[in-house]
A = this chain, B = another copy of it.
Amino acid sequence: MKKVITFSSDFGWRESYAAEMKGAFFSELSNLSGDIGAFTVIDASHDLPKFDIRAGARMVNSLLKTYPKGSIHIIVVDPGVGSERRALAVSSNEQWFIGPDNGIFTPLRNSTSKIVEIDSSLRKKSISRVFDGRDLFAPAAARLALDMEVGAHANGLTLFEEKMPIYEKSKISGEIIFIDSFGNLKTNIPFRKIPNGATVKLFGKNVDIKSCYNDSDIGTPVAIESSDNVLEIAVREGSAYEFFSAEPGAEVFVTW
């Protein structure tokens, strides 16, 4: 029974940072066990928006929901690297998540079964203070992959505040949370909260709720249930971001 190890970061692919992190993982595995082949290494993403801890947290949430038990996930969106923030390994749903305690683990706050502060002695030699992905998280992942300890039990997670929608009698007021690379506008409104026959309004414009992108005309806005089950505003084969010029934080209203 192999394990999947995933890597997520905001490093981009232009330099060697992502490659170095994976190399450090394999080198540590090789040192510890001599066998680098017992694991399946996957790039989840190295193009997370830079410094965007909430984007890292969305990745944590997506990995939690889609990967099998036993998976180990390294997540590095870490503008505070080298400072006092803790380095954690967090167990949830029989998966491990490894990264900085800067809010990125917020989606795990109700489901953690174990939190471990990674022992800084795992950093074999102090190579760099600004690349924990390579020098600390990757070696820790190798140890977890081999069921070895990585530090002492710890408590609490640094959380960021999530903007919640406001529910009224016949209205939900939410907002745009992020915009994906298709230009789809993702809101914080759970789709299941929206009754049949409701209307979506963004910047004063009504948008019809449909089942899929193809239920509207090309170039026309449409509201649908996103793949992560929130209200999403899209434009068929186009960009709702360009259509509406809507930034995160823009208010979205659902009325019925």
* Distance (whole angstroms) from the CB of A226 to the closest CB of chain B: 7
Q: Hey, which chain B residues are within 8 Å of A17, CB to CB?
A: 180, 227
Contact of A51 with B by CB under 8 A: yes
**Given that A12-B181, A80-B214 are contacting pairs, would A22 and B35 also be in contact in the complex, using a CB cutoff of 8 Å?**
no
Residues A225 and B128 in contact, CB atoms below 8 Å apart: yes
Residues B59 and A16 in contact, CB atoms below 8 Å apart: yes
Cα–Cα, bound, A46→B41 (Å):
17
Closest 4 CB pairs of A and B: A82-B212, A2-B37, A23-B66, A16-B62
Residues B66 and A128 in contact, CB atoms below 8 Å apart: no
Contact of A67 with B by CB under 8 A: yes
* A8 to chain B: closest residue by CB: B19
A2-B36, A128-B229, A129-B212 are known contacts; what are 6 more A-B pairs with Cβ within 8 Å? A2-B37, A20-B62, A23-B62, A41-B42, A82-B213, A127-B227
Residues B40 and A37 in contact, CB atoms below 8 Å apart: yes
Residues B79 and A237 in contact, CB atoms below 8 Å apart: yes
Residues B68 and A236 in contact, CB atoms below 8 Å apart: no
Contact of A109 with B by CB under 8 A: no
* Distance (whole angstroms) from the CB of A188 to the closest CB of chain B: 16
Residues B24 and A66 in contact, CB atoms below 8 Å apart: yes
Residues B225 and A129 in contact, CB atoms below 8 Å apart: yes
Residues B45 and A14 in contact, CB atoms below 8 Å apart: yes
Q: Hey, which chain B residues are within 8 Å of A6, CB to CB?
A: 19, 23
Q: Hey, which chain B residues are within 8 Å of A181, CB to CB?
A: 11-12, 14-15, 50
**Complex interface: stretch among A26-34, A153-161, A240-248:** A26-34
* Distance (whole angstroms) from the CB of A79 to the closest CB of chain B: 5
* A133 to chain B: closest residue by CB: B227
